Structure 1
Amino acid sequence: MVLQYTALGDSLTTGRGSGLFSAGFVQRFRGMMEADLKSKTAVSVFAKSGLDTEEILGLLSYPYVQKQIQAADMITITGCGNDLIESVLSYQSSQDETIFSRASAHCHENFEKMIAQIAKIKGADPSPYAIRVFNLYNPFPGIGIADQWITSFNSHLKTLASAPHVKIADVYSVFKGKEQEYLSFDGVHPNSSGYQAMAEVLRGLGYR
C-alpha cells in the first residue's frame, strides 16, 4: 500500500531557504514516514512563496487539490508567516499594536476554515487521516512585540487540536534561542538544519 501525503502552505512548505540541493521538511518527513511505517509514501505539494492564510484556504477550492486531500493519509499545513511579516512591517511604521491582534484573529479563523473544509472534503465516514498544523517560530527575536504576538497566537492555535485528527507541530519551542543555527541567510526562512528540525517535530507527533 502507498501512503498519501499532501502538504499545503507557503514558502516553508516549498522549502525556501534550504539551499539549492537540500530538501525542505516535506521530503525529509516523507522519508521518515517511509522508514517508520515501512510503506512507500507519495507526496502532493500545493504551496507557493508569499501565500497568506486566506490564499492557502483558497487552494482547497480547486478540484485537483480536493482530490488529493480526499485521498490523503497525512496532511501538513504551514501558514501565517507572511501575515506576521506584513504585521511587523506595518507596526514598525505605525506603532499600532492592534495590527497584531487583527492578523492573529484572521489567521486563526482561516486555519479553522481549512480544517472544516478538509473534513467536508473527506466526507461523513473517512478513512483514518492526520492533520499537522505548524505554529510560528519567531524570526524577529530582537523585536519584543513580535515575540509577544507570536506567543499569544500560538497559544490560541492550540485550540485547533480539539478537532479530530489535528495536532499542532510546535516549532516555536524548537527554534527559540537557536535562530542563528536554524535560519537561513535571509533571517526569515529555515536553513537545512531548520527544515530537519521541523521534520523531526512532525515525526515526534506520530502518525495516528
Structure 2
Amino acid sequence: MALHYTALGDSLTVGVGAGLFEPGFVLRYKRKMEADIKQHVSLAVFAKSGLKTAEILSMLDQPFIRDQLEKAEAITITGCGNDLLQSLDDYEQEKDEHVFLEASSHCQENYSAMLKKIKDIKGEENPRYFVRLLNLYNPFPEIELAEKWILSFNSHLRQLESAPHIKVVDTYSVFKGHEEEYLSFDNVHPNCRGYEAIAEKLRASGYEPVKS
C-alpha cells in the first residue's frame, strides 16, 4: 500500500532553479522517504511560482486539494519567500522597516491558518500524518534588513511546531555560508545541490508518527 505525500507551496516546491529535467527537493525527498520506510510513496504537488502565503492558504479550500490532504500522511509546505520579495520592494519605496514586521506577522498568521485547516481536514481520528514547514533561507546575506526580517520570521515560525505532527525544517542553517554553492544562477532559488541539501534536511526530520 502506498504512503501519500502532498507538497504545497511556491517556486521552491515547483523546483525552480534546479535546471532542465532535474528534480527539486520534492521528488528527491519522495525517493529518500521510499528508501527509508521501504514503501511506495504517491505524490501530489500543488504549487506555483510567485504564490504568497495568502494564496497558498486559499488553495486549501479547493475540494480536490482537500481530498489529497485528507489522504496524505506526509505534507510539506514552502512559502513566504515572495512575501519577503514584496517587502523588499515596498521598503525601497517607503524606507519604513514596518513593512517587514507586517509581512512577517501576515505570513505567520497564514501559516497558522493553514495548519488549522489541515487539522480540521484530517480530523481527530486521523493521527498518522506529519507536516514539515520549511523556514526561509537568506538569498540576500548582504542586505542587513533581509537578514533581520528572515530571522524574525523563522523565530515566529518555530512557535508553530507541535509534536509529533508539525516540525519546522531549518533550511536557513543549510544555506548560511553556502549561498554560492547552493544557489542557482538567479541567486534566489536553489540549484540541484541546494535542493539535495533541503531534501536531506527533510529526511533528517524523521517520519513520526507515520513511522518511528
Question: Given the two structures, how large is their TM-score scaled by the length of structure 2?
Answer: 0.96
2:60 equivalent in structure 1: 60
| 1:122-176 CA-partner distances (Å, limit 9, x unpaired) | 1121140000000000011110011011011101110010365100010001101
Alignment-derived partner of residue 95 in structure 1? 95
Residue type of the alignment partner of 1:110: N
Distance 1:18 1:92 in 2: 29
Instruction: Tell me the residue number matched to 1:16.
Output: 16
Larger CA deviation: 86-95 vs 171-180: 86-95
The answer for the alignment partner of 1:40 in structure 2 is: 40
Alignment match, 1:128? 128
Q: Distance in 2 between matches of 1:111 and 1:159?
A: 11
Structure 1 CA distance for aligned equivalents of residues 67 and 41 of structure 2? 17
C-alpha distance 101-115 of structure 1, shift in aligned 2 (>3 A): same
- Secondary structure of residue in 2 paired with 1:5: strand
Residue matched to 1:169: 169
Q: 1:163 to 1:120 in 2, by over 3 A?
A: farther
Runs of 4+ in 1 over 6 A off after TM superposition: none
3-state SS of 1:160 partner: coil
Q: TM-score, normalised by structure 1?
A: 0.98
| Alpha-carbon shift at residue 26 of structure 1 (Å) | 0.3
Superposed CA offset, 1:24-65 (max 9, x none) = 000000000000000000000000000000000011000000
Q: CA deviation at 1:89?
A: 1.7
Mapped partners of 2:4, 2:127: distance in 1: 12
Runs of at least 5 residues in structure 1 that lack an aligned partner in the other structure: none
How do residues 110-189 of structure 1 correspond to structure 2 at under 5 angstroms?
110-162=110-162, 164-189=164-189
* Separation in structure 1 between the aligned mates of residue 119 and residue 178 of structure 2, nearest angstrom: 36
Q: Distance in 2 between matches of 1:62 and 1:162?
A: 25
After superposing the two structures, state which structure 1 stretch, 45-54 or 118-127, moved more. 118-127
**Alignment partners' CA distance in 1, 2:172 and 2:47:** 21
Tell me how far apart the structure 2 counterparts of residues 28 and 191 of structure 1 sit (CA, whole Å). 13
For residue 162 of structure 1, give the secondary structure of its aligned residue in structure 2.
Answer: coil
> After superposition, what is the alpha-carbon deviation per residue over 1:58-99, rounded to whole angstroms, capped at 9, x for unaligned?
110000000000000100000000000111122123211000
